[in-house]
Amino acid sequence: MSQKQATIDFLRRQCARYPALCPQDLLKGLHQSVFGCGHFVSDEERGICRIQEEAATLPGDGDALPELLDGAFCRLPLQYLQEKGMTPRTLFRLFALSAKAPVGTAELLSEKVDILLALARDGQLPVSYAETAQAAETFRREGFPACHHSEAFRNAYHPAYRVISREFLWILPLLAGIDRKMAEQSQVLVALEGCCASGKTTLAGLLEQIYDCNVFHMDDFFLRPEQRTPERYAQPGGNVDRERFLEEVLRPLGQGLPVRYRRYDCQTQSLLAPAETAPKALTVVEGAYSLHPDLADAYDLSAVLRISPALQRARIEKRNTPEMQERFFSRWIPLEQAYFTEMDPAGRCDMILEVEA
């Protein structure tokens, strides 16, 4: 679909969904589509309080589904918090991260406004062309500022949402699940399982930004050279030292104790000196084999990241030298596939997150 057609479809969807809207509301939607968060609140506590105040006044029958905009952003209704259990703090931090995301240009917004004017002029939208042209002229003259919804829109629909990046949509169920668990218990342990190149490490880093959590990587528990026997590799999931991971990480975490563990260093093929990590309210374990049956009972919440073989291959080829690609395709991926087939972590996890390009 062309960008022009995407804009046309967006404007038509807006008019169908909000029949009481005014040209101002369509301009706002286009502005959010290009620039995302129009007015970002840098004070976190103030921003959280504003979300709480708005959420407290929501009607009980509102739509909790995210609303896609015409670009890299979407509107997440505050009803999502009520329905799914996500906290205002988590939503604010998504909002703050989205405010730092790359945005479009004034030229792109101007092109979208031209499309709006053409549709209104041709009678393809249920808005007055004269009013639309006047609003668009003022919008351009003032430099495309962030604007508010019209009074008619606010009275009819009581909008309450935050604009976030569409790249966060696929992880919303995970964030809501984490928030629900953290409301029930003082310490929560989450596993992120998936094959190589599915984005586990990137997602764990994002969770670290949102929650200030501890993150442990299964890659730090590769087998030492003396452990790499044919018998070990013949075990589904035998490609990591899960016994050491259980002893050094999961058992202390289960007792609320500091974790003192030794990372495996691929350069020297040996264990580094022990590093100590104090407990936090949330701990994330990321990596293939993290949901091995010997480890799975330790987690409070688990997710499997599922990626298509084509996207996995494309990512591996983009990120690695030909020599490293060969290791992935001939060695590591077959070992992972044997584990996923035999141990079926996707069938035992709490949720599956579909990875998109």
Are the C-beta atoms of residues 114 and 139 closer than 8 Å to each other?
no
pLDDT of residue 40: 63
Does the residue 235 lie in any domain?
Answer: yes
Does the residue 267 lie in any domain?
Answer: yes
pLDDT of residue 87: 98
pLDDT of residue 38: 64
- Tell whether 21 and 89 lie within a shared domain: yes
- Tell whether 94 and 201 lie within a shared domain: no
- Tell whether 79 and 52 lie within a shared domain: yes
Does the residue 145 lie in any domain?
Answer: yes
pLDDT of residue 101: 81
- Tell whether 165 and 190 lie within a shared domain: no
Taking the C-alpha atoms of residue 230 and residue 235, their distance in angstroms, rounded to an integer, is: 9
- pLDDT reading at 10 higher than 90: yes
- Residue ranges making up the domain that contains 59: 3-169
The residue from 140, 169, 198 where one domain ends is 169
Does the residue 191 lie in any domain?
Answer: yes
The residue from 141, 169, 197 where one domain ends is 169
- Over residues 160-211, the pLDDT tens digits come to 999 999 999 999 999 999 999 999 999 999 999 999 999 999 999 999 999 9
pLDDT of residue 53: 94
pTM above 0.85, yes or no: yes
Nearby residues of 87 by Cβ (< 8 Å), 6 or more positions away: 81, 179, 183
Give me the CATH number covering residue 214. 3.40.50.300
Give the total number of structural domains in the chain. Answer: 2
Taking the C-alpha atoms of residue 57 and residue 160, their distance in angstroms, rounded to an integer, is: 9
- pLDDT reading at 302 higher than 70: yes
- Tell whether 105 and 212 lie within a shared domain: no
Does the residue 179 lie in any domain?
Answer: no
- Tell whether 190 and 154 lie within a shared domain: no
Average pLDDT, the chain: 95
Q: Which of 39-48, 74-83, 97-106, 122-131 has the lowest mean pLDDT?
A: 39-48
Closest CA to 190 of 107, 110, 296, 92: 296
Taking the C-alpha atoms of residue 66 and residue 77, their distance in angstroms, rounded to an integer, is: 6
> How crowded is the C-beta side of 90, counted as CA atoms within 13 Å?
26
Does the residue 115 lie in any domain?
Answer: yes
- Tell whether 122 and 243 lie within a shared domain: no
- Tell whether 137 and 200 lie within a shared domain: no
Within 10 A of 109 (CB to CB), how many other CB atoms are there? 21
- Tell whether 143 and 190 lie within a shared domain: no
Taking the C-alpha atoms of residue 140 and residue 119, their distance in angstroms, rounded to an integer, is: 18
The residue from 142, 169, 196 where one domain ends is 169
Extract the tokens encoding 273: 């000196």
Does the residue 196 lie in any domain?
Answer: yes
Does the residue 151 lie in any domain?
Answer: yes
